[in-house]
Structure 1
Amino acid sequence: MLLRIERPLLIWSFAVLLLFAGGLAACSSAPDEDGEATTEEAAEGESAEDDSEADAASADEGEEEEEEKPKRRERSVSVTATLAKRSPLVVPVIAEGVVRARHSASINFELAGRIASVHVQEGQRVRRGQALATLDNREYLVASEEARANTLDALGKLAVEENDLGEPSAGADALRDQIAELERMERRGEITRDERRAREMDLGVEAVRDGAFRRELLEVRSGLAASRAAQQRADLNLERTILRAPFAGVVSGLTLNSGERVQIGETLCTVIDDVDIEADIGVLESDLRALELGRPVLVYIPALDLTVPAAVDVISPSIDPDSRTCQVLVRLRSEDGKIKPGMFVRSSIAGEVHPDKLVVPREAILTRDGRPLLFRVEDGRAKWVYVELGLRNDHAVEIARVVQGGPIEAGTPVVVDNHLTLTHDAKVKVRRTEPLEDPWAEFDLEITP
């Protein structure tokens, strides 16, 4: 019985203890939560104050940096300028062609034989009359001596018969006068050529019968005339054994050597005059109306980047039916030999000349949005000016009128380089001012009516 009473009491006692323990835990945890909340709020407050102080400090530092940082200066663009001007504008005729030698000769052998010596080399410059090669001349020396001996023999025979000559007859002079009169009659159309020849034959026979030409007949009979002709022929052949330069120039195409045998007409080399040269250019028939002899020409040689002033020397009287061009020759001189035959040339022939045009260099013109413009310099600033272009050549272009942006007058500086990315009102520094190039200024040109 006692055991039955004690078990429920123990259970209730244990339950009471648990409730009491729970109450104590609740009481102890409530103050802790309030304390933690207070601590977190305090921490958040301190953090906010710190952030506001940091922002204020950053703002102060930024203001200090802005005060300390200097303002950025505007940079200027360095350019070259040229002054616009009013002057005559030449519209040239453009034609292309090649350089050729005015004098070029193929040196050929006039006799057959063996080459005894070649006196020049390929590319050597020679003077007029200089020996280029010599054939073996022994055979021709013998022939010359033989002809001389025959001449002396004939002179001896003539001396023996000299007493038979008598006084010279006046018939020879009369015959010459009669023959001259017959030639004049033929030119006037009074007699034909055959009639003149027949009358000359009759007059000659009659003069011989009268004693004219006695000495000439005696020379023929003695063999003197034939021997003299043979000697002249031998001397001519001996001279032909030496090949000489027909004019000063340069040896080209030399392929033969000493000891080789050659035939009549075989070529030794070619002599080219590379000083007196000419540009052979073709001008379109549509451009011929502005062309005349003596017209100034600027011959540009791209291989040498060289421009040579010259004049029109020859205008062909005919037109090539295939190219529809007219041959024009412009004579040049190449003292140093740099301009060589075969070089390509581009020629500008002074065509129409238009007076008093406002012109600027071609380099000054740009195109933006399909519209031509240029930059003029005003108070250290680049000002764009849209323009309408007129006549032009390789160096200058006419300003027909200003479309937008301000005036362009003679003396206005315009930018000619470093302006591809230039903007309106950009600050510029003119490092130099160059004159407008005008290669036609040295010529005395007539204004086109």
Structure 2
Amino acid sequence: MSRNLVSALIVAVVLAVWLGSGLFSGDSAPAEHAPLARQQQTAAGGAVDPDVTRVRASVIQARARTRYLVLRGRTESKRTVDVKAEISGKVLSRPVERGQRVEPGELLCELAVDDREVSVAEAQATLEEARIEYDGALKLKQQGLQSETAIAGAGARLEAARANLRRQVLNLERTRIVAPFGGVIEALHMNSGDYAVPGAPCVTLLDLDPMLVRADVTESEVEALQPGERVTGHTSAGREIQGEVSFVGKQGDPLTRTYPVEATVANPDYSLRSGLTVSVRIALGEVPAHRISPALFTLNDDGEIGVRIVDESNRVRFQTVEVMEDGPQGVWVTGLPATTRLITVGQEFVVAGQVVEPVYGDASTAQLELP
């Protein structure tokens, strides 16, 4: 037999032996590749029922937990007003600067008086003349020497003189443009030497106490809100804020289908600025909730988030949940029965409706101990 033929026979024999060994060892896969629930059966030393899968479960109880509505909003000044001139005149002074706090009635801009004081004096003299004329007409009437028409005319001239005096005094007072409310000067629009006309702004005044926090809520959230509810939150820089709901809108936005909500926050030192992004929480009352590990979440065919639980007949159920609060200690969810048998190990290998054999163990993977 030639050397090449011998070599070919040796290779064929080795290949046949190797293929045969794979066939005979196919049923002895390592235990770590078996489903987790089947491994638990083997470890327990019990008989393996191919129709019933063992899963690890924990019994968890609901606890009362305050439900919060978390919103993103922005701070906004309660009032932003351009304080304007009501008469014409040269600006004599503007004794305020940007960023300055002012009190109600404090002078912002002063206009030239011009002849307005003269007009007041003239109106006072006219009023005195009209009063004397009216008093004289009354005396003549008592003597039967004055008609009712003359009395009425004298009375009308007296009232006109009074109205003219009030008008001239008001024009004189309007030379002093004062703050209508306490606030902070945000912008300046006039300087000494400028000529003001009616409607020209002197300064922009902000009312920052209390500060408003504005946000929008959905149709499902707005029904739970009422004015007066407590609000807590923080700015993007970490500053804590507290206040209460002051307004809940009745008219929804036709495009976003949301409703405006406002909260008032005390800001006596004006340190909280307008236009800041804030995150606020509004307490909506207590609800029964469970705290579980987020690792137990799964999705159903509709894309809904939930967990797998075991019912009274040991059948697997998919129970949708709503996350109400999360943190480093776990996730608080609603939607579970008060007493729930939660599958903590093996949930990946069972489906809804399947009969299982729950093995109850440590609940640490499901619900962490409360502090």
Same fold (TM over 0.5): yes
What is aligned with 2:46? Answer: none
Tell me if the contact between 1:277 and 1:333 (Cα under 8 Å) persists in the aligned partners: yes
In structure 2, the residue matched to 1:323 is: 256
User: Once the 2 structures are TM-superposed, how far is the Cα of residue 321 of structure 1 from its aligned partner?
Assistant: 1.2
- Between the aligned partners of 1:142 and 1:157, the Cα distance in structure 2 is 23
SS at match of 1:226: helix
Identify the residue that residue 119 of structure 1 maps to in structure 2: 95
User: Any unmatched runs of 5+ in structure 2?
Assistant: 1-59, 299-319, 334-339, 346-360
Secondary structure class of the residue paired with 1:228: helix
Larger radius of gyration: 1
Change (3 A) 1:160 1:286: closer
Deviation, 1:402, is 6.6
Distance 2:296 2:282 in 1: 32
User: Is the CA contact 2:251–2:259 (under 8 Å) kept in the aligned structure 1?
Assistant: yes
Q: Deviations over 1:262-301 (max 9, x none)?
A: 1110011111111111111110223223333333332331
**Counterpart of 1:393 in structure 2: which amino acid?**
E
1:301-380 matches, within 5 Å, as 301-303=235-237, 305-351=238-284, 353-355=286-288, 357-359=289-291
> 2: CA distance between counterparts of 1:369 and 1:351?
25
Structure 1 residues 394 and 307: alpha-carbon distance in aligned structure 2, compared to 1, 3 A threshold: farther
CA-based RMSD: 3.5
Compute the displacement of 1:120 (Å).
Answer: 0.9
Asked whether the equivalents of residues 279 and 329 of structure 1 are also in contact (C-alpha less than 8 Å), the reply is yes
- Aligned partners of 2:368 and 2:215: how far apart in 1? 39
Matched residue type, 1:232: R
8 Å CA contact 1:127–1:248 kept in 2: the answer is yes
Quote the Cα distance in structure 1 between the aligned partners of 2:267 and 2:193.
36
Correspondence for 1:407: 363
* Residues 160 and 358 of structure 1: CA distance in aligned 2, closer, same or farther (over 3 Å): closer
2:267 counterpart letter in structure 1: S
Q: Deviations over 1:209-244 (max 9, x none)?
A: 9x5x97543333xx4333222211100100111111
**CA displacement at 1:91 relative to structure 2:** 3.5
Aligned to 1:285: 219
Residue 163 of structure 1 corresponds to: 139
What is the distance in 2 between the residues matched to 1:335 and 1:85?
45
Cα distance per residue 1:399-435 (max 9 Å; x no partner) = 86472561349x976xxxxxxxxxxxxxxxxxxxxx8
Describe the SS at the equivalent of 2:259. strand
Does the aligned pair in 2 maintain the 1:301–1:307 contact within 8 Å?
A: yes
Aligned counterparts of 1:340 and 1:107: Cα–Cα separation in 2: 20
Counterpart among 134, 144, 148 of residue 110 in structure 2: 134
Task: Give the residue type in structure 2 aligned to 1:247.
Answer: F
Aligned to 1:240: 174
Q: Distance in 2 between matches of 1:219 and 1:390?
A: 78
2:284 and 2:205 map into 1 onto residues whose CA distance is 37
Q: Distance in 2 between matches of 1:142 and 1:239?
A: 13
Deviations 1:49-86 (A, max 9, x none): xxxxxxxxxxxxxxxxxxxxxxxxxxxxxxxxxxx997
Q: Which amino acid in the other structure matches residue 96 of structure 1?
A: R
For 1:389 and 1:288, how far apart are their aligned partners in 2?
A: 21
| Per-residue Cα deviation, 1:372-424 (whole angstroms, up to 9, x for no partner) | xxxxxxxxxxxxxxxx9974414562386472561349x976xxxxxxxxxxx
CA deviation vs aligned residue, 1:150-170 (integer Å, no higher than 9, x gap): 122223333443421329xxx
Once the two structures are TM-superposed, the CA of residue 145 in structure 1 deviates from its matched residue by 0.9
Deviation of 1:368 (Å)? 10
Letter in 2 for 1:300: H
* 1:98 matched to 2:74: yes
How far, CA to CA, are the matches of 1:141 and 1:297 in structure 2?
53
Residue type of the alignment partner of 2:287:
H
The match for 1:265 is 199
1:318 aligned partner, one-letter code: Q
Q: In 2, distance between residues paired with 1:232 and 1:389?
A: 71
User: Counterpart of 1:188?
Assistant: none
Q: Which residue of 1 aligns with 2:325?
A: 393
* 1:299 corresponds to which of 229, 233, 244: 233
Q: TM-score if structure 2 supplies the norm length?
A: 0.62
Q: C-alpha distance in 1, partners of 2:294/2:255?
A: 39
TM-score normalised over the length of structure 1: 0.52
Equivalence for 1:217: 153
Q: How does 1:81-96 map to 2 (within 5 A)?
A: 87-96=63-72
Of 143, 161, 164, the residue aligned with 2:119 is: 143
1:369 Cα offset (Å): 12
Aligned partners of 1:136, 1:338: CA distance in 2, in Å? 36
The whole-number CA distance in structure 1 between the counterparts of 2:268 and 2:125 is 51
CA distance in 1: counterparts of 2:291 and 2:242, whole angstroms:
22
Structure having the larger proportion of residues in helix: 1
Q: 2:68, 2:284 within 8 Å by CA — same for their partners in 1?
A: yes
| Alpha-carbon distance in 1 for matches of 2:94, 2:322 | 63
